[in-house]
Structure 1
Amino acid sequence: MLPGMKMGWDFRTGIRRSLTAWKSWDDPCPGDFIFGIEFAPQLNTLPEAYIWNGTSKFYRTGSWFGLSFSGSPDLKSNFYYHGIVYKNDEVYYTYSLKNKSVVSRIYMNQTTGSREHLTWIEADQSWGLELSVPREADKCDTYGICGSNANCMINDNPICQCLIGFKPKSLDTWNRMDWSYGCVRNTTQSCEHKDKDVFVKLSGLKLPDTSRSWMAENLNLEECRTICLSNCSCMAYSNSDTRGNGSGCVIWYGDLMDIRTLSNNGQDLFIRVSNSEPGLIIGRSKRDDSRVRALIVGAVIGGVSVILLLGYCICKRGSK
């Protein structure tokens, strides 16, 4: 794929363009890995870019939120601009060079399953790797590694945690670090009491897979919340564009897939939970647990000290 090329859907002609790996370095027949845009215009979902391994999702960039992809905001280049363009008659991924003299291309690597962006290094007369996704050392880049309704945190151990209000669907396999079954709600959700549900704000995230979502660019966040609350199938909501103070609305239905915590520039997600849920902390790290334990110990010691001091004062007054 060269600068200025479009990869995506043309609704006028019905043409869908994608980037497919060669079967091998010397065999240009189609390989297993395909990079393309997924979008359901009839459902008005939010467009996303995926890498497929055959018929299975292998990697997801995360939604395009006006400034970056929600799943990889740190994957920026010194050589080019890139993003998803969404219009009435087409939706596509493209990129353009900051310096027109740079020679650049994007291709799919059948061996690693990665989408690689290369630039030509004139001095070495060779191609240099600029960016590559998914990142080999980052397990959270693997699509759906934690299953549904869970959050992947690469710096924690284990890396997968259920979202607030959820528990492992299979505790036995979860404890064996097989998270493929994902998480289910702690309590069965009732549509009769949907108006009493609350939303918990989680920050710094790669937002869920938008395959089962609905988007409205003309709604604000409060209107988005109202619509989500009125439909008991709605699981979460967020802004569809994060530029400025944020705008637009995207709503998720059903299980939430492929969420992860990012080290920087992640997005806010408002997750629906029952108002009977206790004030749990999502994705709390060991460092956070240590802080909580320290606060509890400090409070206990402080309380005991006050009691002892009062007892001493009472005894001293009685001795007089």
Structure 2
Amino acid sequence: MQEKLAAIEAAALKELESAAASADVEALRVRVLGKKGELTGLMRGMRELSPEERPAFGQMVNETRAKIESAMACKAQELAQAEKEARLAAEAIDVTLPGKSAPRGKLHPLTLVLRELEEIFTGMGFTVSEGPEVELDHYNFELLNIPKDHPARDMQDSFYFTENMLLRTHTSPMQARYMENHKPPIRIICPGKVYRVDEVDATHSPVFHQMEGLVVDKNIRMSDLYGVLDVFAKSLFGPETRTKFRPSYFPFTEPSAEVDVSCAVCGGKGCRLCKGTGWIEILGCGMVNPNVLAGCGIDPDEYSGFAFGFGLDRIAMIKYGISDIRLFLESDLRFLKQF
């Protein structure tokens, strides 16, 4: 038994010296020291020894096990360090090589137009004010002189959550919110997303963007409104741009008007973009209805104001010659890279 024990130790240490990988050490451990290993099998043969011989032999087996385990631990550590160094060498990065830079993103055309419009109006003394997209009926309709029986409240035209809560159909509610909490003089623009039930096609979308403006002060006149919008049109489309008002109707303004600008493509001569008229409609506007001022806590006998609103998507389509509103929402890089 002692000779077998010595032979197992010698063979194990010799094989350990030639081990080339951590896996070889583990395989040797299982074969020699495992539950079914050679050393474990030798321990089971102790029952063949006399009671007097067993303690001495058991001590020899334990000493042999300790020697083999110690040698294996040292070899495993040595191989692990060598494998780590080999892996690091294989994964080494040449920091002198030129880097691979990620492509830079582009601003969305709607963002470009929004920033340009904000710059134009802030240059005229307006401040930017934003409000919630989930709005109360009170602000979306009631304070804007749109009574309960008005067609704009049709459940088929707006996205309602409850009878009194909906996705805002325009950014005008922010004007009412602002007037409730601020005293004149007021000069704000309100950009943001709006939502209406609509079929998607080249010129319609259930989600689009608006910007509305509001001025309230003493002695505000229709001529002030025309002057602001004329400066806006010339700043956006070019100094040769002409503007004209056409009578219209909006429940929150009186009198109301639609604003047309001369076609930037043909200069007013008539083309496919302006459908041969020489003019393109860009926004609606008017003097703030006295009922709206009074409803927001502003005395209409002392103050007057004007408001205007337009679709950012439409402005961008006119400015960049885009014929399909769906392109703004499709995230097509071939389209976006143009801007």
TM-score, structure 1 normalization: 0.20
Larger helix share, 1 or 2: 2
Structure possessing the higher radius of gyration over alpha carbons = 2
TM-score, structure 2 normalization: 0.20
